[in-house]
Amino acid sequence: MAVRTTSIPTARLDVVIAEQEAIFLARQPRSAELQRRAVRSLAGGVTSSWQITRPGVVWIRGGRGSRIWDVDGTEYVDLHGGYGVNAVGHAHPAVVRAVRERVANGTHFAQPAEDAVVVAEDLARRFGLPLWRFANSGTEATMDAVHLMREFTGRRLIAKIEGAYHGHHDSVMVSVYNPLEELGPVGQPWSAPSGAGIPKEFTDLTRIVPYNDVDAVERLFGRHPGEIAGLIMEPVMMNAGIITPEPGYLEAVREVVHTAGALLAFDEVKTGLTVGPSGATGAYGVSPDIVCLAKAMGGGVSCGAIGGTEDVMAHVVEGSYDQVGTFNGNPLVMAAARAALTEVLTDDAYRRFDHLRDRIVSGLEAVVERQGLATHVVAIGAKGCVTFSADPVRNYREFLGIDDRFSHCHWLFQHNGGVFLPPWGKAEQWMLSAQHEDEDADRFVANFERFARAISS
């Protein structure tokens, strides 16, 4: 189904984008200068390809509380959140204290340190899964989950949702950001390699189903009896704006997967600790066999974790699956994670997220109403986004139908108006922290109103 997109004349949109890009560039001469230097030693002038922003890369000097400053000295309300990491905000005193104490006491031994137990206990309580291990990124966490599902079942194939991103390892770089013509028939999607360097022999092992479609999961498992180890999925899709599960969908998926003797892994790298204290697992009340975490769990330090049932993690305990890594459970990460989980991401933080989110959503919706924009707002916990379509979006193919220029234009208005949002257009969402205030939310809404007026006039 095609979604009805916002009916603003796109010629007008292009003019407004050009004006805003000119303002953007004029504001950041020092960033441009650093970028000219960076390209001589950093490939592409950045440290990850998703740090490239259009029309120029923004170099950051530091952050405190809800604010960050670029190298030109401009202050922003940070709703980028470092791609969903900074639920604690910047330089939170509890995290600073924990990290400082740890640094002064040695940061790496490749032997466990006590904070790891506190973090594992906290995660076990939140997610209802008894046993945990740590990794260093979301990519490593989902890679472990895929390996474990295969090892547990002795099966080679895995299933994933069309359009979902789970990190950049071979098994999951399949049908991620591919264009419509590469996705295949809707009833039986292809396994499209996403990105270079991934042989088809690998991607063929990953089978694709659309989100919010239980029948498709049933059909897939029916076509491959006894062959699919498990399904890895984001319970709420968060790399296609935000797409929420329809009522009963997650429960039904779990039932189909378990009936087929396979496992269900929730990739909560983005949703865990942001959509609620116990992630989407808690918010929707559906327990998977494996949960993958990263991002917000580490209080701003690179991290990853997987939790599992006794049965699944028995394969780690007994050593049939070696879950390993030099930096796993690194004491610096564990100190930051302990402070984040036990001192910052408390009930108060989630009450603050709810309050600020409601303030933003009602502000944005009032603007949408006033300006008559065919647009809607999707928000959950600390996260939210404006989706530039009149209709709700149910899956990746519908998401592809949205004109990305609206999100880019909105991003520019926010940036030039002192609010930093994630740069990757319609795919990303805003992120609140435990240190944001009402005035931060209000600045975001005011910028949205300026944007809405500019494109509607």
Ligand X SMILES: Cc1ncc(COP(=O)(O)O)c(C=O)c1O
Is 284 one of the catalytic residues? no
Instruction: Rule CB under 6 A: choose which of 81, 89, 138, 384 binds ligand X.
Output: 138
Other beta carbons within 10 Å of 390: 14
Strand partners, 306: 133, 292
Instruction: Say if residues 427 and 241 touch (Cβ distance below 8 Å).
Output: yes
Report the distance separating Cα 269 and Cα 167, nearest Å: 9
The residue annotated as part of the active site, out of 160, 270, 295, 426, is: 295
Instruction: Say if residues 436 and 91 touch (Cβ distance below 8 Å).
Output: no
Cβ nearer to ligand X, comparing 119 with 269: 269
- From 160-168, 202-210, 401-409, 414-422, give the range in contact with ligand X by CB under 6 A: 160-168
**Mask for 290-309, x = binds ligand X (CB under 6 A):** ----x---------------
- Secondary structure (3-state) at 69: strand
Is 438 one of the catalytic residues? no
Instruction: Rule CB under 6 A: choose which of 53, 137, 416, 435 binds ligand X.
Output: 137
284 φ, ψ to 5°? -105, -5
Q: What tokens does 395 get?
A: 């899956």
Is 267 one of the catalytic residues? yes
- Secondary structure (3-state) at 211: coil
Cβ nearer to ligand X, comparing 90 with 270: 270
Report the distance separating Cα 129 and Cα 341, nearest Å: 16
Residue 40 CB, nearest approach to ligand X (Å) = 26
Other beta carbons within 10 Å of 214: 17
- Please tell me whether residue 167 binds ligand X under the rule CB under 6 A: yes
- From 63-71, 134-142, 332-340, 431-439, give the range in contact with ligand X by CB under 6 A: 134-142
Instruction: Say if residues 153 and 144 touch (Cβ distance below 8 Å).
Output: no
Instruction: Rule CB under 6 A: choose which of 83, 321, 350, 353 binds ligand X.
Output: 83
- Please tell me whether residue 430 binds ligand X under the rule CB under 6 A: no
Residue type (1 letter), 416 = N
Residue 245 CB, nearest approach to ligand X (Å) = 15
Instruction: Rule CB under 6 A: choose which of 142, 212, 416, 433 binds ligand X.
Output: 142
Strand partners, 237: 243
- Please tell me whether residue 165 binds ligand X under the rule CB under 6 A: yes
- Please tell me whether residue 80 binds ligand X under the rule CB under 6 A: no
- Please tell me whether residue 234 binds ligand X under the rule CB under 6 A: yes
Other beta carbons within 10 Å of 131: 18
Binding footprint of ligand X on the chain (CB under 6 A): 83, 137-139, 142, 165-167, 234, 239, 267, 269-270, 294
Q: Which residues are catalytic?
A: 165, 267, 295
